[in-house]
Amino acid sequence: MNNKQTNNKQMNNKQTWQRILGYTGKYKSTAIASVGCAILTVLASLVGPFFIGRVVDQMIGVDAVEFGTITKLLIILAIVYGVGSFFGWLLYSLTNRIAYQTVFDMRRALFAKINQLPLTFHDSHPHGDSISRFVNDMDAVSDGLLQGFSTLLTGIITITGAIGLMLYISPMMTLVVLLSAPVSFFAARFITMRTQQMFREQAKVLGGLNGYVEEMIGGQKVVQAFHYEDRSYAQFTAKNEALYQAGIKAQFYGSLSNPTTRLVNNITFSVIAMIGSVVVILGKISVGELSSFLIYSNLFAKPFNEITGVITQLQSATASAQRIFALLDLSPEQPDAPDAVEMKHSQGTIMFDHVKFAYDPERPLITDFSLLVKPGTRIAIVGQTGAGKTTLVNLLMRFYEVNHGVIAIDGVDIQSITRDSLRRNFGMVLQDTWLFAGSIRDNIAYGKPEATDEEVIAAAKATHAHSFIKRLPDGYHTLISGSGGSLSQGQEQLLTIARVMLVDPPMLILDEATSSIDTRTEIRIQKAFQKMIAGRTSFVIAHRLSTIREADLILFMADGDIIESGSHEELLARDGYYSRLFNSQFAAV
């Protein structure tokens, strides 16, 4: 992962746009149509000045104006510019389509990549920064494509056509115009090369700000409970100020390119006007031809002005695209082995054989863990925070891979089992509830969308969620937000438990599954769990020891190792770590 990420940081602007254009390649027919519209639009803008010069030449002096000819020429001009306007509108529509389809594909690829990345990425990157890449960075790329594509397309054709027509009128004056082009180009290049890094920094700071805002909004209850409002506001102000400074600096220096090129072009226009006046006096060209030439010189300079005008957007798009590609280039989760097997229905035999694991290589967590779990065994895991309880679950589900040793299910190494089939054999209820925006029914049926209404209701009744669901305005069809809306945390957790009960997996993992539920409801759910786990292998992680008394085997973990194991009564009789922890929770006050 790190190698690819490092390589992406070295990606230059050319490589970045080559990759962006790679996404547009599938829309060749639209691109070809855009080129055709651009040619017709530019041809109309180039033909127009020719007729304008003819009109000027028809006004020789007082009482010497050919009104008939002028009228005909004006009608032709109206038609030419009308056609040009129509194809200009069509060009804008087609470039819009290309830009939005390209970003649509990039956003879809990015979302697919997010689902392929290992859990280590999500644990180590702020969610707000990832969201910023989906929204802000994609919008910047879209704006850059929309402005840049049409501007560059029409600009190249306009420059080529204007040069040809200026050479036809006056090669000498054309030379003066052409000499100004390198000055404009190098002035703009000098500025843009020094502002690209500023736009990268702006995109980075914006991602950090989005991450902070997402954290503060998501934890608003905690913020207010600990009177953190003033400090969070101060920190937000500092980050917002950093974004303001980065944005001001990037936009200011980026905006210098357009006025600079306009200054060069205006000076050139003035010089051409003076030279042209002399040439007209000498009788080399007519006044109308001078008028046409001046318009062509403006048309020649216009693309340079427009390109430098959108350079700021192009730079922002480039910086944002590099952030998107940086994520796309990360190594995905280690793929399943080519010969990986599908686990249809596990019998529930689980073996940990000398497992070693560390999130940080410098700080080992699990040093030598071995355990054999027979089918249908209910395992309770207890211990202090950081003892490695949840880590075992992460390894069992292959959210993380073991550094050494083997975890086997039914005698098969889990690394030889496809992840999808492995995880389908587990039902998992976490302390942190997760619901999505939709109906209550859809949330319960998340793991089994084909479930009937009767099955959904049966699962809800088993977790004692049916009664509160029926009291909601639309019952099971009540819509909730991703945060649960008006539901209490306990009600949210009941829905996640019902979700697992509906799937009815052969093995269960309950990580503080009833921590947010009142004692009376917890007793009811424990009875429901007893029915559900009958004959199934299950792992229960709990701090409230009252929930694990009936476990077949209790493991007391510390520093990633099992230091005590046995039934509830056996561990109490030993008067060891578990006994002291149990007595501390139930000692008389």
Per-residue pLDDT tens for 336-359?
888 889 988 888 899 999 988 888
Confidence at residue 482, expressed as pLDDT on a 0 to 100 scale: 64
| CA 321 – CA 141 distance, rounded (Å) | 6
Residue 216 has phi, psi (to 5 degrees) of -70, -40
**What is the percentage of the chain residues whose pLDDT exceeds 70?**
88
- Tell whether the model's pLDDT for residue 406 goes beyond 90: yes
In a domain, residue 206? The reply is yes
Strand 507-511 relative to strand 426-429: parallel, antiparallel, unpaired?
Answer: parallel
- Tell whether the model's pLDDT for residue 10 goes beyond 60: no
45 three-class SS: helix
Most confident by average pLDDT, 55-64, 246-255, 261-270, 454-463 = 454-463
- Tell whether the model's pLDDT for residue 424 goes beyond 60: yes
- Domain membership of residue 107 as a residue range: 2-328
Q: Residue 308 CA to chain centroid, in angstroms?
A: 29
Which CATH number covers residue 160?
1.20.1560.10
| CA 141 – CA 313 distance, rounded (Å) | 8
Contacts of 334 (CB under 8 A, 6+ apart): 118, 401
In a domain, residue 225? The reply is yes
Residue 384 to residues 22, 345, 387, 396, 542, Cα–Cα distance (Å)? 52, 33, 6, 20, 10
In a domain, residue 404? The reply is no
| CA 453 – CA 459 distance, rounded (Å) | 10
Q: Per-residue confidence at 254, pLDDT binned at 50, 70, 90?
A: confident
Query: pLDDT tens, 470-512?
Result: 998 889 998 887 665 678 777 888 888 888 888 888 888 888 7
Do residues 13 and 318 lie in contact, with contact meaning Cβ atoms separated by under 8 Å? yes
Confidence at residue 452, expressed as pLDDT on a 0 to 100 scale: 92
In a domain, residue 198? The reply is yes
Q: Per-residue confidence at 456, pLDDT binned at 50, 70, 90?
A: very high
Confidence at residue 9, expressed as pLDDT on a 0 to 100 scale: 46
Confidence at residue 227, expressed as pLDDT on a 0 to 100 scale: 65
Calculate mean pLDDT across residues 13-33.
Answer: 85
In a domain, residue 548? The reply is no
Helices 519-533 and 453-462: angle between axes, nearest 10 degrees? 120
In a domain, residue 144? The reply is yes
Average pLDDT, the chain: 81
pTM: 0.64
- Which tokens hold the place of 416? 């030889």
What does 391-454 look like in DSSP terms, one character per residue?
HHHHHHTTSS--SEEEEEETTEEGGGB-HHHHHHTEEEE-SS----SEEHHHHHTTT-TT--HH
Nearest to 434 by CA among 127, 43, 46, 228: 127
Confidence at residue 547, expressed as pLDDT on a 0 to 100 scale: 65
Q: Look up tokens 């940080």; give the residue.
A: 360
Query: pLDDT tens, 358-367?
Result: 888 888 888 8
Calculate mean pLDDT across residues 254-278.
Answer: 77
Nearest to 204 by CA among 238, 254, 242, 255: 242
| CA 330 – CA 114 distance, rounded (Å) | 10
Greater pLDDT, 549 or 112: 112
Q: Residue 557 CA to chain centroid, in angstroms?
A: 38
- Tell whether the model's pLDDT for residue 99 goes beyond 80: yes
- Tell whether the model's pLDDT for residue 550 goes beyond 90: no
Calculate mean pLDDT across residues 136-140.
Answer: 87
Q: Please tell me the total number of residues recorded for the chain in this structure.
A: 589
Instruction: Please state, as a whole number, how many other Cβ atoms lie within 10 Å of the Cβ of residue 165.
Output: 19
Confidence at residue 453, expressed as pLDDT on a 0 to 100 scale: 92
Q: Look up tokens 């027509």; give the residue.
A: 165
- Which tokens hold the place of 371? 């355990």
- Which tokens hold the place of 10? 């070295």
Query: pLDDT tens, 368-386?
Result: 888 898 988 888 888 777 7
3-state secondary structure 321-374: HHHHHHHHCCCCCCCCCCCCECCCCCCCCEEEEEEEECCECCECCEEEEEEEEC
Query: pLDDT tens, 197-212?
Result: 787 788 788 878 877 8
Confidence at residue 62, expressed as pLDDT on a 0 to 100 scale: 58
Calculate mean pLDDT across residues 423-428.
Answer: 86
Calculate mean pLDDT across residues 211-231.
Answer: 73
Greater pLDDT, 167 or 486: 167
In a domain, residue 367? The reply is no
Picking from 124-128, 247-251, 327-331, 347-351, which range would have the lowest pLDDT averaged per residue? 124-128
Query: pLDDT tens, 462-480?
Result: 888 898 899 988 899 988 8
Confidence at residue 13, expressed as pLDDT on a 0 to 100 scale: 78
Q: Per-residue confidence at 18, pLDDT binned at 50, 70, 90?
A: confident
| CA 439 – CA 476 distance, rounded (Å) | 7
Nearest to 515 by CA among 405, 429, 450, 398: 429
In a domain, residue 521? The reply is no
Query: pLDDT tens, 503-540?
Result: 888 888 888 766 666 677 667 667 666 766 777 888 88
| CA 229 – CA 217 distance, rounded (Å) | 11
Nearest to 46 by CA among 84, 102, 94, 7: 84
- Tell whether the model's pLDDT for residue 3 goes beyond 70: no
Greater pLDDT, 587 or 336: 336
Q: What torsion do the CA atoms of 398, 402, 408, 413 make, to the nearest 10 degrees?
A: 90
Q: What is the number of domains present in the chain?
A: 1
**173-179 long-range CB contacts below 8 Å, 24 or more apart?**
173/272, 173/275, 173/276, 173/279, 173/293, 173/297, 176/268, 176/271, 176/272, 176/275, 177/268, 177/272, 177/297, 177/300, 177/301
Burial class (CB within 10 angstroms; exposed 0-12, middle 13-18, buried 19+) of 393: buried
Calculate mean pLDDT across residues 228-235.
Answer: 82
- Tell whether the model's pLDDT for residue 2 goes beyond 60: no
Most confident by average pLDDT, 61-75, 199-213, 214-228, 522-536 = 199-213
Do residues 536 and 544 lie in contact, with contact meaning Cβ atoms separated by under 8 Å? no
Confidence at residue 8, expressed as pLDDT on a 0 to 100 scale: 42
Strand 378-383 relative to strand 537-541: parallel, antiparallel, unpaired?
Answer: parallel
Q: Look up tokens 């880590």; give the residue.
A: 391
Confidence at residue 5, expressed as pLDDT on a 0 to 100 scale: 40
Tell me, what DSSP letter sits at residue 547?
A: G
- Tell whether the model's pLDDT for residue 413 goes beyond 80: yes
- Tell whether the model's pLDDT for residue 408 goes beyond 90: yes
